[in-house]
Structure 1
Amino acid sequence: MSADSMWSIGELAEHAGVTVKTVRFYSDRGLLPEAERSGGGHRRYGPEALDRLRLIRSLRTLDLPVPEVGRVLDQEDALEDVIAGQLRDVGSQLAALRWREAALHLLQDCTPGERADRLRLIGAVAAPPSTAAFVRFWRCWLPPRLPARLVSAILERAVPQPPADPTPAQVLAFARLHAFVSGPCFSTDRCRPAVHRADTGYRPAVLYGGLVEAFATAAPDLLAMRPPGEGEALDCFVEAHARACGMRDTPAFRRQLSGRLAAEPRIDHYWQLTAELTDPSQPTPGASHDWLHAALDHQLAQEAA
């Protein structure tokens, strides 16, 4: 390459419309290789450095960190991965901004007497919010040694995801739910359903596997707002309980089951808040359980009449 086609650092900066400091910065980090040095030790660049510098500037306008720019320059197939990573980061930032905006409206629209409590609730939740506390709650609440696949299925239905574009009311519901699950997780026998206790002879995996099926079967009835009644969903619900304790589905067992369900500890507050955060087309397990319990009581009342 002839000396006439070589540029000094100042000439390259002028052609690119940047400062000498910018060119030196990228050169020092190996992003802009020098073609050679002059006799006086000054940097010299060829025309290809201008194309590379323009590419670097384009990548930096997308807010790519310098190390990621280096990856793109060094690896031909790195750009797609870098773009995907940036999109994830931008999505997370947008989610955090939407959450903060809704939280600010929540504080703006409340009374002065409510503001301190709402600030406390919101301040305990990250932006964008995480569901890690909900998962910990359910792993504490559920009986031990359930199959991993069953636990995953339960968590998928029981743990609400933060709305992508939350309303102020949803921010408040999420914050209240976060406060609820961050408290004691009902670890004493007094606070646990009988099926969770080792001394009752229940097989929790059998029950929860059956309940997942029963809730899915009941979902169309809930969505259609049908009154609780007999049918396949109720039979599946009762059968899950019967099999879990090694008994048969009989009229006597159904009467016994109704009384036991009425006496068991409940987490209604969790399901009420969850319903505010989830798609109405997906009934919560709590709503499904209540519908099936009501269906059982309705059937027993009809038989008694």
Structure 2
Amino acid sequence: MWSIGELAEHAGVTVKTVRFYSDRGLLPEAARSTGGHRRYGPEALDRLRLIRSLRTLDLPVPDVGRILDEEDALEDVIVGQLRELGSRLAALRWREAALQLLRDCAPAERAERLRLIGAVSAPPSTAALARFWRRWLPPRLPARVVSAVIEQAVPQPPADPTPAQVLAFARLHALVSGDCLGTDPCQPAAHQPGKGYRPAVLYDGLAEAFALASPQLRAQRAPHAGEALDCFVSAYARSSGTRDAPAFRHQLSGVLAADPRIDRYWQLTAELSGPSEPTAGAAHDWLRAALDTQIARPAA
């Protein structure tokens, strides 16, 4: 049996360290001397060395206790620590890019940029963007459709952002934190037709139309008539209980042109995500332009 000092000497630590882990129940004593002093068996040395190894990895004392007491706890603790470390690293990378943004901008811009950046957490949350879309989308939309639209429309902040991406996200956050982009009501005119309107039909059809238009955007083709445009118009027609016809296309062009636009949202989203994948907003604008081009051609 070893005294606390002997155990500390064998382990190469201080008596204070041994007492700290003993007091927290990580290093149980085997017995007490007649004078009431702690005594430890040889197995305490292996346990103390394991504790030190785990603490070298910066694991919190409660997690170390779990690993010592529960056979399968190590894997769970490692997964949790990796998740936490990833979040901390993402926050540090975001702060680094934000500081670079402030360092490199003109002095006259710093106050505004500091205000924008200060409103965003690090790492940033997309909760405000999701709330905006829930207000923007039409009422009575099924939850599955709302989730699908939000997943497509809300960009995820990059893990290793550039200063320009930090600025784009901060501006996007400020944009959606306002009151419906200055419009009242929040939904555009295309969301507020008369009786019988079926918003789920509209958004299911729009998702298909955007998927058809995306290859055209990637190939940088000019807006034109075709399958994507037909699917786009059909989504609006079926959702309002009418049929696709030349007169409806003229009417739809006017309705979409009169809607409160969120072009700024999609512009900032493109700046944040990069040009590799067209946004839903870019696809919508391409299809609107294709519709306007088709309507204008007979008149020309």
**Aligned to 2:160, which of 144, 165, 172?**
165
Assess if the C-alpha contact under 8 Å between 1:103 and 1:171 holds in 2: yes
State the partner residue of 2:171: 176
Residue 121 of structure 2 corresponds to residue 136 of structure 1: no
Assess if the C-alpha contact under 8 Å between 1:34 and 1:43 holds in 2: yes
One-letter identity of the residue aligned with 2:26: L
One-letter identity of the residue aligned with 2:88: Q
**Aligned to 1:11, which of 6, 13, 20?**
6
Offset from partner CA, 1:82-136 (integer Å, 9 cap, x none): 0010001110111011011100110001111101001111111111111111111
**Aligned to 1:242, which of 224, 237, 259?**
237
**Aligned to 1:33, which of 15, 28, 31?**
28
**Aligned to 1:195, which of 169, 174, 190?**
190
State the partner residue of 1:3: none
State the partner residue of 1:84: 79
- Give the RMSD, CA atoms, in angstroms: 1.5
Q: Is the alpha carbon distance of 1:189 and 1:105 closer, same or farther for their aligned partners in structure 2, counting shifts above 3 Å?
A: closer
Q: Is the alpha carbon distance of 1:262 and 1:188 closer, same or farther for their aligned partners in structure 2, counting shifts above 3 Å?
A: closer
Which moves more between the two structures, 210-219 or 191-200?
191-200
State the partner residue of 2:269: 274
- By how many angstroms is 1:73 displaced? 0.6
Q: Is the alpha carbon distance of 1:124 and 1:75 closer, same or farther for their aligned partners in structure 2, counting shifts above 3 Å?
A: same
State the partner residue of 2:200: 205
- By how many angstroms is 1:257 displaced? 1.0
- By how many angstroms is 1:304 displaced? 2.9
State the partner residue of 2:116: 121
Assess if the C-alpha contact under 8 Å between 1:194 and 1:200 holds in 2: no
One-letter identity of the residue aligned with 1:173: A
State the partner residue of 2:288: 293
Assess if the C-alpha contact under 8 Å between 2:183 and 2:260 holds in 1: no
**C-alpha distance in structure 1 between counterparts of 2:129 and 2:195, whole Å:** 27
**C-alpha distance in structure 2 between counterparts of 1:223 and 1:201, whole Å:** 36
State the partner residue of 2:45: 50
One-letter identity of the residue aligned with 1:57: R
Equivalent position SS for 2:278: coil
Q: Is the alpha carbon distance of 1:67 and 1:106 closer, same or farther for their aligned partners in structure 2, counting shifts above 3 Å?
A: same
Equivalent position SS for 2:39: strand
Q: Is the alpha carbon distance of 1:187 and 1:203 closer, same or farther for their aligned partners in structure 2, counting shifts above 3 Å?
A: farther
**C-alpha distance in structure 1 between counterparts of 2:218 and 2:105, whole Å:** 33
Assess if the C-alpha contact under 8 Å between 1:186 and 1:192 holds in 2: no
- By how many angstroms is 1:145 displaced? 2.3
The two structures have a TM-score, normalised by structure 2, of 0.96
Residue 61 of structure 2 corresponds to residue 66 of structure 1: yes
Structure 2: give runs of 5+ residues left out of the alignment: none
Q: Is the alpha carbon distance of 1:191 and 1:27 closer, same or farther for their aligned partners in structure 2, counting shifts above 3 Å?
A: closer
Equivalent position SS for 1:44: strand
Count of residue pairs brought into register by the alignment: 300
Give the % identical residues: 79
- By how many angstroms is 1:279 displaced? 4.2
- By how many angstroms is 1:285 displaced? 1.0
- By how many angstroms is 1:47 displaced? 1.2
Assess if the C-alpha contact under 8 Å between 2:31 and 2:38 holds in 1: yes
